[in-house]
Amino acid sequence: MNNMELLRNPKQRKLLFGVGLSWLFDAMDVGIISFIVAALKEEWTLTAGQIGFLTSISSLGMVLGAVLAGAMADRYGRKSILLWTLLIFSIASGLSALATGFGVLCLLRFISGVGLGGELPVASTLVSESMPAKDRGRAVVLLESFWAIGWICAALIAYFIIPKYGWQAAFVIGAMPALYALYLRRAIEDPPRFIKQNGIRKPSFREKVVQVWSIKYRRSTIMLWILWFTVVFSYYGMFLWLPTVMTMKGFSLVKSFEYVLIMTLAQLPGYFTAAYFIEKFGRKFVLVTYLVMTAVSAAWFGYSTSVGMLITAGIFLSFFNLGAWGGLYAYSPELYPTKVRTTGVGLATAMGRVGGVIAPLLVGLLVSKGTGINVIFMMFFVVILIGAFAVLFLGKETKGIELADE
């Protein structure tokens, strides 16, 4: 079954688009802050350190959200926790428009991050558990493709809305998911394999953590934690700073937004090719190949000087990095049984979000010390390769294998 055949199945299409739109709103919220900080840098005269802190604080909330939502979804269901996380981040995003100072904005971004970090592992697990084995990987990668659409929406809002109406308008638009949650409440259901677990004693959080780190799953857990940390570290370090990096390379704010929009468009074909290859060649092939090419693209971008080279390198960076993200979300839920699945994925995601906290702060520190962009992107080159090697040597292939319930 190819991508279009999967979308022709009414039940699967409704689930994919229903959860996918919530994923889109997630991405829009994360993406918009990268453009807003570029505008606030001029309006509030933020230092590089403050920019790093503001872009990191949401990831700090994501750490907490991923752990809490992952554990709660194993106990109370995927659907209900998905809706609550959607409401939390959209309300906090809308309130961010009212922020009058740096401290208040940071607090609201932290709360938004709790919702964002909670939604992503729950949403990917819900879709993964609802699909047959032959379509599962492709479906989750297609779900991830909504992330690219969300970033494109963020770039369009930045290009057309922020210069004319101010950054506050962008945050107001970010409150839209609160209304969408009302529709989603009726549109989706918990996966049958989770419903079958009802009535069975649910293990405590401590018991679930012990199982995730038991001998049976330890190798997969170590691999996932390394993979999530390196991917999120590099993504948030590179992409949240991308509009600011473009201004540092001498482009105007509007021109920077325009170039980043062009780069962002390359995310969609990255997802779609990964969706095809993940069922044809497997999860490990997609992750290793796309991560290695992401690393090469990062080094290329760091050393680019002309407009043409920057945009071309940025396009390749977007294409391969986001294709790898699709593989990551498809792969992670397949490594644990149903009763601890979102806990395992949530813990791995939380480890990744730690990387998402550190990277923007570290980039801010390095920029403030005068470190060259080429050196910073070579750091990402090395980190991404570590993630690729972790999958290559520690990962196991899960293509076509039914999800475990015990």
Say whether pLDDT at 18 is over 90. no
Asked whether residue 405 is domain-assigned, the answer is no
**Could you tell me if residue 400 is inside a domain?**
no
Residue 149 maps to which CATH number? 1.20.1250.20
Contact residues for 209 (Cβ-Cβ < 8 A; gap 6+): 343, 347
Q: Which of 271, 316, 311, 310 is nearest to 292 (CA)?
A: 316
Nearest to 264 by CA among 239, 245, 291, 286: 239
396 backbone φψ class: left, alpha, beta (φ>0; ψ -120 to 50): beta
Q: What is the pTM of this model?
A: 0.82
Domain count for the chain, please give it.
1
> What pLDDT was estimated at residue 199?
63
Using a 10 angstrom Cβ sphere, with 0-12 exposed, 13-18 middle and 19 or more buried, the burial of residue 207 is middle
Q: Is residue 195 part of a domain?
A: no
Residue 150 counted as domain residue: yes
At residue 3, the pLDDT reads 53
b/e string for 275-285 if b means 16 or more Cβ within 10 A? bebbbeebbbb
Higher-confidence position of 207 and 42: 207
Q: Cα–Cα distance between 188 and 15 in angstroms, integer?
A: 6
pLDDT for the residue 231: 96
**Among the ranges 75-84, 212-221, 230-239, which has the highest mean pLDDT value?**
212-221
Mean pLDDT value of segment 162-184: 86
Three-class secondary structure of residue 232 per DSSP: helix
CA distance 3 to 1: 7
Q: How do residues 236-289 score in pLDDT, each as one tens digit?
A: 888 877 777 777 777 776 677 777 778 878 888 998 899 899 989 999 999 999
Residue 211 reports pLDDT greater than 80: yes
Number of DSSP helices (H) and strands (E) in the chain, helices first? 19, 0
Residue 296 DSSP one-character state: H
Name which of 87, 83, 62 is nearest 73 in CA terms.
Answer: 83
Burial 379-397 (b: 16+ CB within 10 A, else e): bbbebbbbbbbbbeeebee
Residues with Cβ within 8 Å of residue 93, at least 6 apart in sequence: 29, 108, 112, 171, 174, 175, 177
Q: What is the pLDDT of residue 254?
A: 65
pLDDT of residue 4: 54
* 346 lies in some domain: yes
Eight-class DSSP state of 334: G
pLDDT band for 398, please (50, 70, 90 cuts).
Answer: very high
Indicate whether 75 belongs to any domain. Answer: yes
Tell me the pLDDT tens digit for each residue of 358-394. Answer: 988 898 888 888 888 889 999 999 999 999 999 999 9
**What are the backbone angles phi and psi of residue 275, rounded to the nearest 5°?**
-60, -35
Residue 305 has a pLDDT of: 80
Domain-located, residue 401? no
Angle at 291 between CA 285 and CA 294, to 5 degrees: 140
Mean pLDDT of the chain: 87
Residue 333's pLDDT band (boundaries 50, 70, 90)? very high
Name 307's Cβ contacts closer than 8 Å, sequence gap at least 6.
259
For 100-152, the pLDDT digits (tens) are 889 999 999 999 999 998 998 899 899 989 888 888 888 888 888 898 888 88
The pLDDT of residue 193 is 80
Residue 191 lies in a domain: no
Joined together, the tokens standing for residue 181 give 């949650």
- HSE on the CB side for 286, CA within 13 Å? 32
Domain that holds residue 287: 3-184+204-394
